[in-house]
Amino acid sequence: MEKTAIYPGSFDPVTNGHVDIVERGLNIFDKIIVAILRNPAKEALFTVEERKEMIETSLNRNSNVEIDVFDGLLVDYAKKRNAVAILRGMRAVSDFEYEFQLALMNRKLNREIQTVFLMTGLRWIFISSSIIKEAASFGGNINGMVPPIVSRKLKEKFGFITPSDE
């Protein structure tokens, strides 16, 4: 039986830390579905379609990775996709309390879906999508912290380059 995990998030934008979690998660699971949460209450910098494209390009369209979009309860989505686990990355102790609460709630809602935590690789521990967006908005050099497509899209979004500059 194929073991599938759901790796949920807003991925606004995807970072090298996210890519690291997916790549290492593939050592545990046969397939990972990167599930972009469509959350109308949260104002995103990139559209869902832009985020999906950046993730697909960043993961080199790996055949064991699927990119999808969902809304509603994560455990319902996981059950619908026949996933055995929810994959979550943690950067620091400060992530633990929030992630632990989510895992307990998901377990209460569906005991068949496990939550698996992977610690972010040390080289990515300080990176978050929010910090990346803030640095990029001021023209900071984010190369090496995000996949090349994300760096380019952020520079375009903040007006540091235009698509015709390439």
Tell me the CA end-to-end span of the chain in Å, nearest whole number: 46
Cα distances from 63 to residues 67, 70, 90, in angstroms, run 11, 20, 25
> Which residues are catalytically annotated?
18, 42, 91, 129
Residue 31 half-sphere exposure toward CB, CA atoms < 13 A: 16
Q: Which sign, positive or negative, has the C-alpha torsion 50, 51, 52, 54?
A: positive
Q: DSSP letter at 19?
A: H
